[in-house]
Structure 1
């Protein structure tokens, strides 16, 4: 006999986060809680997180849909599951939040989504250090902090300032750290024009770049396929995956474009089941992957980290965003020496 409710929480960035789609100062999340009326002191919590101008459920009616979902759970109790997956395909963040909450409830309501050595504090997850877009001096400052903190892999957002300035910054990095000492990933968020993309990729290749995420805008399969075939830098698909929930379409995209990597963001793709399906499709074609948060708070980040920890994937993951918010929920998640760890001695905070 399940019941559900939700709360909205506006996360505040400690420092504005610059992307090619603008500067973020706040980001909304909604926490959905589910419990069994026969044991109401135990509840599962999930985070429904959307990214402005990127999530397909960043549209009018999001909170109405979440309210409707909770009402249906409360009304139909144990029978609410019928047709739920189909009904929530257009709302991947809500679908993920509910999946997370149900798994948490199933496992006792302790925010243990997937049991593993990571949750026991016996295993860490290598992560990349994220460098936000901004003035060159600001990006240099972030870079120094990440390297001092022990990161061996960094991810730079590019495409918002002059490309030559961004290239010069990477040249400065390479004067001190070669590609064996520091892995550099870049993320263009689709900022490159398709006609100029290859020339820019050739410039990046000279600097030992590991990979580039989404060099051109999503939806240009043939152009992206051409880039993947010709680029001297490995290409990772990110935004390209959003909105594709049909298994045939997944396989068609990957077989057409043939990227080196795909980036999995459960909040944007519809949760763990959807990500598992992407992994299966990628494995068939020899395409590698890593997981990245979509700027969830610690509730969502914890769930993604736990799912990642049970996968056979040793690549640095994009899971270092828990420290960007001033009013995040306190959690056992910590970043040390370029790794995400779960410190069992640190208790969870309460949902505001």
Structure 2
């Protein structure tokens, strides 16, 4: 547990609100994003691990939320964060519609390797992004580890003509990433690790093994801003701060991380509020002139009511909160290992 404070469960439940927010476009196989929010002494925080994650993995997300709500955060080094547009696995003819939601963004992260689609669909989508953004736009691809080694190599050759900034998690395993990096080194396309960082017992093992050129870091799955900062420092490679399709409250947690990093060489994936059809605030953290401001977000009470999840889903999330709190409590009570 990275958080030094574990408030009583009753304190979390006292302000807990569960929301269900429709998306503008289907993303990660869902059309509605659910999230649990609560308020602590330092403001609101978000707990929103994806529903398929078990309690052990989800507990890190709760640790991050508690840290953000109960502790002051590291000092900000900047007042605004440059962000990328995020293009889901939409048909090529919808690319313009998606990009229009990301005001001033000159970088686009394009989802590829969607289940049920073909490489030809990816090529058409990326081509449409390049045509829309022009030669000066930056394009990065995210496969979420869905390709095997040979599929990834084939896809890279089919997509390299679009002048790619980097490939995010093209394969699932570190061994595959090492070999793919060796095979495509001559193309000069860096490989970024996401799942190999946030879902790993050792978040920097993928870099130590020589499998990645940069890391994608997300506050919730890494257990909070401070732990994410330590991961970046230990990795010793450039970092991209991204989100997990959060509400603006959760995006504020990612923004705090991006603001605290000593160096920020890449546009961050913190503009994803534009993928939501509604949010929990009338002043969401959406891109303006290609960046989002550094600030905490307080949800609007009326929007929390308007977008409240139904009783069944709210109960499900509160029960999940209880279980994950128990996981954290067990870690706190566990005696330290002898040195």
1:145-224 to 2 correspondences below 5 Å? 145=100, 149-160=103-114, 161-175=117-131, 177-179=133-135, 181-217=136-172, 220-224=173-177
The 1:48/1:13 distance shift into structure 2, 3 A limit, reads same
Cα distance change on mapping 1:136 and 1:333 into 2, 3 Å: closer
Distance 1:347 1:48 in 2: 15
Pair 1:279–1:347, CA change in 2 (3 A): closer
- Is 1:130 the counterpart of 2:137? The answer is no
Task: Tell me which residue corresponds to 1:97.
Answer: 65
Return the match for 1:318 from 266, 269, 272.
269
- Find the aligned partners of 1:280 and 1:167 in 2 and give their Cα distance: 35
Relative contact order: is structure 1 or structure 2 higher (C-alpha 8 Å, sep ≥ 6)? Answer: 2
The structural deviation recorded for 1:236 is 0.7
Q: Structure 2: how far apart are the matches of 1:251 and 1:333?
A: 29
Q: Residues 18 and 134 of structure 1 are in contact (CA less than 8 Å); yes or no, is this contact kept in structure 2?
A: no
Q: CA deviation at 1:16?
A: 3.3
- 226-235 vs 287-296, which deviates more? 226-235
- What's the TM-score once normalised by structure 1's chain length? 0.73
Shift of 1:207: 1.6
Deviations 1:240-295 (A, max 9, x none): 123334xxx34433121331111001112222232122111221xxx211100111
Given candidates 6, 9, 18, the residue that maps to 1:9 is: 18
- Paired residue secondary structure (1:5): helix
CA distance in 1, matches of 2:278, 2:292: 19
Give 1:343 deviation, angstroms: 7.9
Mapped partners of 2:155, 2:198: distance in 1 = 25
1:126/1:339 contact within 8 Å kept: yes
Query: Greater helix share, 1 or 2?
Result: 2
Deviations 1:73-114 (A, max 9, x none): xxxxxxxxxxxxxxx7761111111111112xx5xxxxxx45
Aligned to 1:25: 31
Show CA shifts across 1:119-148 (max 9, x none). xxxx321100011112222234323x157x
Question: 1:221: how far off?
Answer: 1.7
Tell me the number of residue pairs that the alignment of Structure 1 and Structure 2 aligns: 287
Give 3-state SS (helix, strand or coil) of 1:196's partner.
helix
Distance 2:110 2:285 in 1: 23
Question: 5+ unaligned residues in a row in structure 1: which ranges?
Answer: 36-42, 63-87, 107-112
Q: Distance in 2 between matches of 1:275 and 1:234?
A: 21
4+ long deviations beyond 6 Å: none
